[in-house]
Amino acid sequence: MLSGTNAGELAGVDAVLAGAGVKSAPTARRVVLVGNKISPGNPVTKPDGTVVRTLWGELAYQLGGKKAFARIKADDENATNPGDVLRELFKEYGPCLILIDEWVAYARQLHDQSDLPAGGFETQFTFAQALTESAKLAGNCLLVISLPASDTSGSPHAQTDDVEVGGIRGREALDRLRNVVGRVESSWRPATAEEGFEIVRRRLFEPLDGPDAFKQRDVTSRAFADLYRAQGAEFPPECKGGDYEKRIQAAYPIHPEIFDRLYTDWSTLVKFQRTRGVLRLMAAVIHSLWEKGDRNPLILPSTIPIDDSRVQSELTRYLSDNWAPIIERDVDGPDSLPLKIDAEQPNLGKLHATRRVARTIYLGSAPTVAAAHRGLEDRRVKLGCVMPGESPAVFGDALRRLAAAATYLYQDGPRFWYATQPTVTKLAEDRAEQMKRDPIPDEVVKELDERLRADLRKMGDFDRIHTLPRSGADVPDDLDARLVVLSAENSYSKEPGSPAEATAKAILESRGNTPRLYRNTLVFLAADKMRLQDLYEALRRFLAWKSILKDKEVLNLDPHQVRQAETQGNAADGTVTARLPETYQWILVPEQLKPDSAVTWQASKLPGSDPLAVRAAKKLRSDELLVI
């Protein structure tokens, strides 16, 4: 801006100048010092033969060439502080702009004794004080110094911070520079989320060019804003106002929710740099989406391609190493759970809904796994997923399915988050898997028997019910109308010779060793062979959750895990209750059209939602097969 370049060629500068009340920026001499690009041990010979040894020598040379350097040549050769000569140089060669970056990286290389061409450690901070005071007194000099934002003194993350500033020596240099600069500084903190919109857009995208580009931006922003207003209950409250539409315009083509998560959550990580870290990540995201030909109207949290190794690297480099396998299993790997759920559920798969939900939760929860207030609310998950024309309910369904099955996804009320420790869901899966064997474990058979007997307490129009007889001897030969409920192992299928039909025939023909006389008093209820496996699976899951709650003290479950086990256990209980009548759906009725003809079997499915015996009686009376 101060180089003499036409302001119209620099994006946003016109507005800055107008705000300052001037038509053009003054031309100024500029000095740029980058600490990790300058060696304190190797003097630099300039094209005109000038040999520069120190930081102040480099400053003077950039400011006024050989003539200006001559004013401090002796101090450069002796590595001593130039003092008030700096102020004189600023006034003589001003107006001037001095930019210093990575000063800590430069200073930490200096020794206590002045045995390097650049001088000693202490001299560096004497120069820093002279520089800041001279810039202040000159009146026509702007000095801009960048220092690491995180305070490392006594930090509980000292080992991590050492990487940022360079160990103990770097921390000392940072503290000394802060003390010196702090006396005259006008502090500017790292970019806010709103400023981040502009930084990322200018660095990673071409500027919007022409009315069509601005129209496309405004149409997209309005479509998202209309969605948030029309279905306000599904999204966070702040999305309903007109200000959020302006935020979408400002961040376009990136959704503001991405910046909110990066600047609010990821910036709490010690190693994550608010500007550089966001730029690195978004550069990888944009490149990956561009390679894939992504046509989505905005880049949302749900469209961040975490399955791309470059993007995943940026999202795990600030976290512990055990996040990579978690992503592979529960977030966005080629064999991950979200992809399996999407493949099994067509209504979810056509939108990749579960995968998009998983990506959104990861972006919003991975950096806050150790925080007291973890995770994202379901409304904010939908904000990161739903686009105009899509139903939020689809993503709500995907969220529920993912939470019920994921190993590392936790839920507490409306909040969801990924963590590095397996959830009790994983423990329940393991316990359920242990019960998946042949023959069916006794505890599964016992649970099914108890549930059947409880359901059959309501007998409907039957005089008696014989539940799970082991043979015909357990079924009396009486005149009463009775229902015989066969065991699950005697299931029914339409294929010839089904176990249910064979068992029913044996019971019908005899009571023990005695032929049965009153055969027209018996009908039989049997389980469907195909649905029986689903019922067993539901029973195993229920028993697994039940055992976890029983062992909660031994397992040392925290209150949240206990609540999760209770919630999942109740859900599993409901699934068993629903699948029981779906499984025991066949009523088998013996028929004999003539006294001398063979007995045939009529199999019918039971409709309705009443208890089993009540449904069976209604069906038989409706078909005039039960007469009272």
Contact status, residue 106 vs residue 68, Cβ threshold 8 Å: no
Q: Which candidate, 289, 279, 284, 238, places its Cα nearest to that of 259?
A: 279
3-state secondary structure 280-346: HHHHHHHHHHHHHCCCCCCECHHHCCCCCHHHHHHHHCCCCCCHHHHHHHHHCCCCCHHHHHHHHCH
Q: Are strands 600-605 and 510-511 parallel, antiparallel or unpaired?
A: unpaired
Q: What are the distances in angstroms from CA 151 to CA 156, 255, 368?
A: 10, 31, 20
pLDDT value, residue 156: 36
pTM of the prediction? Answer: 0.65
Query: In whole angstroms, what is the distance from residue 473 CA to residue 512 CA?
Result: 4
Contacts of 164 (CB under 8 A, 6+ apart): 148, 150, 152, 170, 270, 271
Q: What are phi and psi of 99, to 5 degrees?
A: -115, 125
pLDDT value, residue 393: 96
Query: In whole angstroms, what is the distance from residue 541 CA to residue 488 CA?
Result: 18
3-state secondary structure 589-620: EEECCCCCCCCEEEEEECCCCCCHHHHHHHHH
What residues in the chain have per-residue pLDDT under 70? 149-166, 189-193, 370, 372
Query: In whole angstroms, what is the distance from residue 39 CA to residue 166 CA?
Result: 16
The three-class DSSP label of residue 32 is strand
**In this predicted model, what pLDDT tens digit does every residue of 80-133 receive, in sequence order?**
999 999 999 999 998 999 999 999 989 989 888 888 999 989 999 999 999 999
pLDDT value, residue 346: 94
Q: What is the dihedral of CA 588, 593, 595, 597, to 10 degrees?
A: -80
3-state secondary structure 121-180: HHHHHHHHHHHHHHHHHHCCEEEEECCCCCCCCCCCCHHHHHHHHCHHHHHHHHHHHHHH
Peptide bond into 414 cis (omega under 30): no
Q: Which candidate, 326, 490, 340, places its Cα nearest to that of 401?
A: 340
Query: In whole angstroms, what is the distance from residue 566 CA to residue 262 CA?
Result: 34
Burial of 306 per CB tally in 10 Å (0-12, 13-18, 19+): buried
User: CA angle, corner 24, sides to 13 and 190, nearest 5?
Assistant: 35
3-state secondary structure 361-382: HHHHHHHHCCCCCCCEEHHHHH
Residue 64 CB coordination number (10 Å) = 18
pLDDT value, residue 162: 42
Domain-wise residue ranges, the chain: 7-182, 193-422, 442-622
Q: Record the tokens describing residue 275, joined without a space.
A: 């500007």
DSSP category for residue 254: B
pLDDT value, residue 263: 86
Q: Which residue has the tokens 């806050």?
A: 368
